[in-house]
Every structure is written in C-alpha cells, then in structure tokens.
Chains A and B, each alone.
Chain A
C-alpha cells in the first residue's frame, strides 16, 4: 500500500522569548552586552511514522504534548528544526476554522477568498458554491458580512469550504469541538464519505468516542514523543486507563 504521509525523525525546537528582542535597538544592545541567549523548548522529539493512503489516524494526548505542532509541520505551516516530512497529494488543513476569513467581507466573498487561500481558483469555487451554502445551511446569510455571524455559523462555513473539493489528505485539529451535536454529526458523515472516497485523514481530538468512531489507528503523544502508536482499541484503552488513574489519585 502506498503512503500518504511519511514523517522521518522530526524534531521541533522553539525559542521561548521570555524577554522580547524585537527591535533593532534591543538587538544591538544585547549583542553589545553579549546577552543574546535564548531559552529553548523542545516541542517534538524524533517523531517517525507513516500513514497509508486511505487510512485514518487519530492523535491523542494531553494539552501541550505537541499535537498541533505536529499537524502544523505536516501541513507545511511550520518547518521542523530537524527531520523531514513527505506528503503525497493535496492537503486541506483545518488547523483553525476560517483561515483567511475577512470579517468585513460577506459569506459569498469569503467563500472565494478562503478557496483561493487553499489554492482553488474562482472557477472551481463557483462550481461548488451552491453545495457549500447548502451544507452550511447559510442560504439566508450569503450576503451578510462575516463579522455578524455566530461562531457556529463560521464553523459550518469553514468546514464546508475546506471539505468541498476532495483533498487527498485532510487534517483536522480539534475543530470539531466547536458546534452542536447536529453539526458534529454532519461533519462526521462528510468525513466518513471522504474516507470512503480514499481520502487520508489525520485527526486530533479530545473526544475518545469520536476517535473510536472514525480512526483505524491512533498515536498517543506525550511531552513531544510518541508514547504509543497502534490500532484504535489498544491505544484508546491505554489512554482511558490514564484518565481513570488520574481520577483515582484525586
């Protein structure tokens, strides 16, 4: 089976800017005083894994374990300090909903802008326009500026746009947490139909039930390293054990 994503020995180091050096003046003063050191934070260490085409990988872990950082590296938003990432096919990242939404523009204008941000031409967005509006149930609000939308409306619109053109790889970072149960159900159905169509999905979620419903395999990240990587049931059970252990301790 072919791979959709290959992550090889990825490490990500951040500078904790405890003291801001963001002006020329500050910079030269610090050079003069020899105090240009920075504190470092290792967000990810030696992450290696591959994802086969058409499979669904869930990523779980406590807050701060490096999940979002890993997704951003795979989406090529961040460049890793060490290591390589190879992806095969188009990527639709949903790191935050409404990337590229301009609050002053209407929903209609934002559909084209957001589509362009994801690399789709006007012509393509025009073809899918009605479908997008229908899925997000926003037909009354097409010409209303986005700044007047509720967060749920923005979530629906963003998800709709990002999933309308079938990407080869879909990356979802905790965005399904927003939205009521009807929205969640709709999203999962669409994700399922995309999976049936051969899309590879990478999903971060804090809802173990959702992970169990959607994923073939699960990766558990702890403090920037892979603690467990295997089939859904095994890893989810282990993760659940952590939850009950913590409750018992309290």
Chain B
C-alpha cells in the first residue's frame, strides 16, 4: 500500500510544484520588493519588538534581537503554515469537485510554501548576527534538523485543521484565538525563567517550545541539543504527523459533499 501511495505522490509531484509556484507568484505579484519582503519583514518586526521590550520590560536576555528572531522564525512558520493549511481544502473545492486529486496535496503544499518563506526569513537571522557582530556558532549549520521536525509537525496539524474546517467552518476563527494564546505560551519574547511554576508546567507541554528551544540552542548558545530534546521533538512531530494522516484519510471521502 505504501508503494501505491508513493506512485500516486510521484505522479502529482508536478502539481505540488505548480501550486507552490502559483502561491509564490500571487504573493509577490506587483509588489515592488518581491520576495525580499520575506527577509525584510522579520527584520522590521524584530526592530519594533526589540525597541518595545527592551525599553518597557527589562529582561535579562543577552542579545535580545537574536533571541527574539530565532524564536519567531520557528513560531511564525508554525503559525503561517497551519493557518493556511486550515483553509486549503475548502479553497480548493473547485478542483476537488471536477477531477481526482489526492487531497492531502493541498495542506501539504501550504506547509511547504511556508517552509520556503521560513528559509528566506532565516537569512534575516544571519544578517542580524553579522550586523550585531554576535558570535556565529558552527552549530548553526544543523538548523535543518529542527526545521524538519517542525515541518512534519505542521503537516500533521495542518491535515487535522483542514479536515475540521471542511465540516465546521468556524474552526478557523477558533484557531486564530488559539494561536494568540499559543504565542504567549511559547517563550519567544520573554525568557523561560520568569514564568511562575504553574504556567511553566503548561509551557513544558507545548511542542513548539521544544522546537524553538532547539533552534535557539543552535543559533544563540552554540550548544548541541542532547538526546532528550531530540527524542521529545521526534515524538511530537511523528505522532502529530501520524494523527493528521489518520484523521485526514478517514474523512477525505466525505469532503466533496461539504465543500
């Protein structure tokens, strides 16, 4: 059965490519700076956030700009990937109703598109490190590892959300509220140690916290993430990916009746 699935995937690889290209063209069509915005936007956001938080809240964080950027890089990808995957099946209704397409391609494509944007934004991290003359650790070349972990995680979440959105159109609204809470439950703009014990417990259950921490270790602290965090990240990403596939495959035959 896996072989069949692989054959189907190969047949539609071209479509995946085309959908990503199309999203790319639509996003940057007629914009003066084009894809440079993927690099510029995180930098501008970082300037704003850094100014606010270094004047208002005096956190004891060394090198706050890089601390913030490495966390927001991961979180923004997660947020954008899952939010766009959520509406991907409903938005593709015209296609799904007219021709046979393996439907998982739609959430998958949105996650991959956000992944590409994440890679562009990653260059903004490099730029800032160079500008601030911060230390560049060799561990930074391992950054694809947490990226793969969180991409798999986002595909799983995206598949689940896309499924629910077909049947319940208010899931999208609920999810954006959830994302706001999720942002504050991930130590992106604040250090972990200022959290009270009960909130800390909640944060330790947050998968995104581990992915963010992994990336920050590589970029900011230059430490090699230990087996413990690798196992946690692997467990979260593979279990959610599996859960997403199961839920999606179970329900996908009914999609066409509700879109």
Partners in one complex: yes
Determine the distance from Cα of A24 to Cα of B171 in the docked complex, in whole angstroms. Answer: 7
Q: A166 interface residue, CB < 8 Å from B?
A: no
Q: Are A113 and B256 touching (Cβ within 8 A)?
A: no
Given A77-B97, A100-B95, does the pair A22, B168 have CB atoms closer than 8 Å?
Answer: yes
Closest to A121 in B: B14
Asked if A99 is an interface residue, CB under 8 A from chain B, the answer is yes
B95: chain A residues at CB < 8 Å are 99-100, 117
Of A23, A99, A104, the residue contacting B99 (CB under 8 A) is A99
Contact A117 B99 (CB under 8 A): yes
Least Cβ–Cβ distance between A118 and chain B, in angstroms: 7
B22 CB–A CB distance under 8 Å: yes
CA A233 to CA B171, docked complex, whole Å: 54
**A23 and B168 contacting across the interface, CB-CB below 8 Å:** yes
Closest chain A residue to B174, Cβ basis = A24
Alpha-carbon separation in the docked complex, A93 to B98 (Å): 8
Q: Give Cα A23 to B94, complex, Å.
A: 21
Q: How many residues of A contact B (CB 8 A)?
A: 31
Q: Let me know if A27 and B12 touch, CB within 8 A.
A: no
Encoded as 1 (CB less than 8 Å from any A CB) or 0, chain B from 97 to 121 comes to 1111100000000000000000000
| Chain A residues positioned under 8 Å from B258 (CB to CB) | 22
Interface string of A27-42 (1 = CB under 8 A from B): 1000000000000000
- Compute how far the CA of A93 lies from the CA of B100 in the bound complex, rounded to whole angstroms: 9
Q: Which residue of A lies closest to B98 (CB)?
A: A99
Q: Is the interface of A mostly helix, strand, loop or mixed?
A: loop
Complex alpha-carbon distance, A104 and B25, angstroms? 10
Docked pose: A115 CA to B99 CA in angstroms: 12
Q: Hey, which chain B residues are within 8 Å of A91, CB to CB?
A: 100
Which chain A residues border B101 with CB–CB below 8 Å?
Answer: 117
| Complex CA–CA separation, A109 to B111 (angstroms) | 23
Residues of A99-121 whose CB lies within 8 A of B: 99-100, 102, 104-105, 112-113, 115-121
Question: Which residue among A75, A96, A100, A105 has the maximum number of chain B CB atoms within 10 Å of its CB?
Answer: A100
The yes or no answer to B257 lying at the interface (CB within 8 A) is yes
Q: Bound state CA distance, A78 and B254, in angstroms?
A: 8
A38 CB, nearest partner CB in chain B, Å: 11
- Of the A-B pairs whose beta carbons lie under 8 Å apart in the complex, a sample of 19, sorted by A's number, is A14-B257, A22-B169, A24-B170, A24-B171, A77-B100, A79-B253, A91-B100, A93-B100, A96-B98, A99-B94, A99-B95, A105-B22, A105-B25, A112-B18, A113-B22, A116-B17, A117-B15, A120-B14, A122-B14
